[in-house]
Amino acid sequence: MRSLARVMPLVLLAACTAMHAESPASRPNLVVFLVDDLGWQDTSVSFGGPRTAQQAHFRTPALERLCAEGTRFTQAHSHCVCSPTRVSMMTGANPARHRVTNWTLRRDQSTDAKQAVLQLPEWNVNGLSPDPATPRSHHAETLAQRLRSTGYRTIHVGKAHLGAADTPGADPRNLGFDVNVAGHAAGAPASHQGTDAYAAKGRDPVWNVPDLEAYHGTPTFLTDALTTEALRAVDDALAAGKPFFLHLSHYAVHTPLQPDARFVEHYRALGLDEKEARYASMVEGMDHSLGRVLEHLDARGIAGNTMVVFTSDNGGLSATARGGTPHVHNAPLRSGKGSAYEGGTRVPLAVRWPGRAPANATVHQPVIAEDLFATLCTAAGAPSGCPDGRSWLPALSGEPLLDRTLLWHYPNHWGASGPGIGAHSAIRSGDHKLVWFHAEGRFELYDLANDPWEQRDLAAAEPGRADALRQLLRERLEEARAQLPTRTDGKPLTLP
């Protein structure tokens, strides 16, 4: 017979769960399920048009369920690498404004690859920080701080990658989260394997995943360990009688590509390249995590009052590490992570929110990472003001997001090479997108309505439209006080 001490917490949790289930008008719980480096084509769900051959081998039934019960976006965008997107989500500001324009790691050190033609700017290499005394960092009220100030229990589990090592922003608890599990400065794990203690011999310990000692020496894949910890934190919030904001931010499917033993043999049996078999097993492990989250919300009786947002922090990895031919893993989108082209910035986005997000619906309006701030604040009934983001909740009701202009600014070099990878700025107004490549001084213009794959450069054929978008790009960069590279040959690099 169980002791009273063990029974009482379950009784209290059941009571709190019932209270949430019986109060549909109460503020919604918020779940952001953020996947690292997941490409637009890397699931069994289509986020634009019919399913392609590229998607045929992926198994993501939980995401299929989420989309069947909610709404997917076909033109959702991130920024081209991870930290800029993550800081934009947390602040509602575009990278041109917050200047965390590349991925962060060590205090006061740039991660830029050297360029022959450009001297890259002194961007905010220390990332997001609560301390104005932290040099070369961005200081702003975060999404977690705003939600916590309105009564939410704020929970971060998984990859943070918001602030550099040895700065306050490396710990999400300094950025408004009540709970942090496994979030620190690094943007990738040394290992996804519990048998390795999520570390790797001979590798710099900056990559070792913290806080998961209970799983060390076990066969628990990192994705599964993070999910267990996230669900435990949700139950703690329910027991405390508070609405919660769960930021479940997986290290998967970022490198190192390692097999999730629960799923990998299926893909090997399909005859996939070993790297691609491992990658697909990590995708399925991520989806299994999403399924556990949805089932947990059902079991606790709170699914009807919980908004679940699924997305990725940048376009899919394709230039390095993947199997087969590089730069085609996001096809028919062009290129991948780090690129100015759609393969680098178009990401999956789906939301389930019963009563607000229509089931099995599709939104074709363009949205971008910084919109998440305004969207979640609006959903929570919190002040939604932020520098650049706008709520996309009206789009769930079929309302147009009027006068929408999307801005990308990456005056950096990720490290890999490939189509569209390098220092650039880009702007989208309506269906047209203009890309400015800084080193070459080249402009390219695309009509995404008729050419979403960016195969036909219209800059020469439509000079009037190109000039108008150049002017708009200049205005947006000037308004944000965006940083630009300088040329190593002494020639000036000026705004377009």
Domains, the chain, ordered by start: 27-47+57-404 (3.40.720.10)
DSSP labels for 179-199? EEES--S-SS-S-SBGGGTT-
**pLDDT greater than 70 at residue 365:** yes
394 pLDDT more than 90 = yes
The count of other CB atoms within 10 Å of the CB of residue 124 is 27
Instruction: Share the mean pLDDT of the chain.
Output: 94
Dihedral over Cα of 123, 128, 130, 134: its sign: negative
CB-count exposure of residue 46 (10 Å: 0-12, 13-18, 19+): middle
**Residue 3: pLDDT band with limits 50, 70, 90:** very low
Residues constituting the chain: 496
Joined together, the tokens standing for residue 155 give 């929970």
Q: Mean of the pLDDT values across residues 270-298? A: 98
Instruction: Provide, rounded to the nearest whole percent, the portion of the chain with pLDDT above 70.
Output: 95
Among 21-30, 283-292, 363-372, 448-457, the range scoring the smallest mean pLDDT is: 21-30
Least-confidence region, from 23-37, 73-87, 237-251, 445-459: 23-37
Residues pairing with 408 in the sheet: 426
Residue 228 belongs to what H/E stretch? helix 222-239
Residue-wise pLDDT for 114-133, tens only, equals 888 999 999 999 999 999 99
What pLDDT score does 302 carry?
98
Q: For 12-25, what is each residue's pLDDT tens digit?
A: 444 444 333 333 34
Q: CA 496, CA 115: separation in Å to the nearest integer?
A: 21
**343 near 66, Cβ under 8 Å?**
no
- Per-residue pLDDT reduced to its tens digit, 174-213: 999 999 999 999 999 999 999 999 999 888 999 999 999 9
> How many helical (H) and strand (E) elements, i.e. helices and strands, does the chain have?
12, 15
Q: For residue 366, what are the contacts with CB-CB under 8 A and spacing of at least 6?
A: 75, 76, 77, 401, 404, 406, 428
How would residue 491 be classed by pLDDT, with cut points 50, 70 and 90?
Answer: confident
Q: Summarize the confidence of residues 340-351 as an average pLDDT.
A: 98
Rounded Cα gap, residues 93 and 99, in angstroms? 10
- Specify the pTM: 0.94
Neighbours of 390 (CB within 10 A): 21
Residue 478 tokens read as 């000037």
Tokens 């299994």, located at residue:
288
pLDDT at residue 121, rounded to an integer: 96
β-pairing, 405-410 vs 424-429, is antiparallel
Question: Counting Cβ atoms within 10 Å, is residue 464 exposed (0-12), middle (13-18) or buried (19+)?
Answer: exposed
Greatest C-alpha distance within the chain: 81
